[in-house]
Amino acid sequence: MLRFILQRALYALPLILVIIVVMFTLLHLIPGDPVQALVGDYPVPPAYRQAIEEKYRLNDPFFVQVWNYVTAVLQGDFGYSYQNQRPVLGLILERAPRTILLASVGFAIAIPLGMTIGVITGTTRSATTDKVWTTSALVAYAIPAFWLGQLLVMFFALRLGWFPTQGIGPLVSRAHGFDWLLERARYLALPALAFAIHEGMRFARIMRASVIDTLSQGYIITARSKGLTRSQIISRHVLRNSSLPLVTIAGYAFGSALSGAVLLETVFTWPGLGLLMVDSIRLRDNLTVVGVVIFSAFAVILMNLLVDIFYALLDPRIRTGG
């Protein structure tokens, strides 16, 4: 297993290098002026432009910039964000846990939700139940997460006043201990729910198809003929075997969610990697953009690795190579 992990890590290295070069090239090609972004919509005084360009070496030739960056990254230095006036790595390490928290809680709701709906619709003998659930899931999945987020804000925050409209936590708080946790949970509730509904409905559709496929397998007929009850069959045989495609999809989805659910973070002013990315692109804070992309690439590679490991645990055939 260790060899397998090391092999994957070695594959990742050239990929990261390619990502750095491609990102630098693309950002270099897009018109933009970070010094103008600092000053706003008034002319930049020449002395200020010179001071900033010299300080952050913005005028170095393109290849020098790429080379300096690659050698720095190999030493663990992801550059300096001139729009945030701090090292990019620190910035990412500060924002990433917020995005991971949102994605994790979202997935923690989405996976059981999707599996439950998938199993219900896949195993039901009632055509009406199947249609109602399947159509509802399709409609909920079709609603863009950011719009769903707005609807949740309008209803649960503005009309009912149960949750705050935006933010990651109260700006002024005297809460401690459990109260503090509860206060934070209120801020997390709506974005996580919007995230969970959208992803959960996608999982439900995959789970349903997978359950129907599993039910037609020979071992299910064997199980029936052995006199196992319906619930025993579902819990012992169907659930486990039908989960494999879901694990694949959820793994990829979680990996990409770690790069920041850009629209959802914007709708809920959730200052994670997504909002950081939007700001950095707008302000042409290129090293931060590249840093976030590298982090996302790592996240996706890592999740793929975890999916493979999880697969092996779920399906002995993969584990034994049979």
Which residues make up the interface to another protein (CB under 8 A)?
30-33, 36-45, 47-48, 51-52, 55, 82-85, 91, 94-95, 150, 153, 157-158, 161, 164-169, 171-172, 266-269, 271, 275-276, 278-280, 282-285
Sequence-ordered list of residues with C-beta below 8 angstroms from that of 223, at least 6 positions apart, any chain: 232, 233, 236, 237
Beta bridge partners, 80, equal: 87
Closest-CA residue to 141 (of 25, 253, 6, 287): 253
Place of tokens 């609603």: 143
* Distance in Å, CB of 248 to another protein, minimum: 33
The answer to whether the Cα torsion of 226, 230, 232, 233 is positive or negative is positive
With beta carbons less than 8 A apart as the criterion, state whether 318 and 248 touch: no
* Distance in Å, CB of 171 to another protein, minimum: 5
Question: Which CB sits closer to another protein, 44 or 143?
Answer: 44
Question: Which CB sits closer to another protein, 39 or 72?
Answer: 39
Question: Which CB sits closer to another protein, 52 or 223?
Answer: 52
Question: Which CB sits closer to another protein, 44 or 109?
Answer: 44
Phi/psi of residue 9, nearest 5 degrees: -65, -40
Question: Which CB sits closer to another protein, 49 or 202?
Answer: 49
- 40, 93, 247, 300, 321 from 297: Cα distances, Å: 32, 15, 19, 5, 28
* Distance in Å, CB of 58 to another protein, minimum: 12
Question: Which CB sits closer to another protein, 129 or 150?
Answer: 150
* Distance in Å, CB of 46 to another protein, minimum: 8
* Distance in Å, CB of 170 to another protein, minimum: 8
With beta carbons less than 8 A apart as the criterion, state whether 83 and 291 touch: no
* Distance in Å, CB of 53 to another protein, minimum: 10
* Distance in Å, CB of 256 to another protein, minimum: 21
Report residue 178 as tokens.
């459990």
Question: Which CB sits closer to another protein, 36 or 104?
Answer: 36
* Distance in Å, CB of 14 to another protein, minimum: 31
Count of Cβ atoms closer than 10 Å to residue 160 Cβ = 9
Question: Which CB sits closer to another protein, 52 or 109?
Answer: 52
Sequence-ordered list of residues with C-beta below 8 angstroms from that of 208, at least 6 positions apart, any chain: 117, 118, 121, 122, 134
Alpha-carbon gap, residue 266 to 290, rounded angstroms:
20
Would residue 143 be called left, alpha or beta, if left means φ above 0 and alpha means ψ between -120 and 50 degrees? Answer: beta
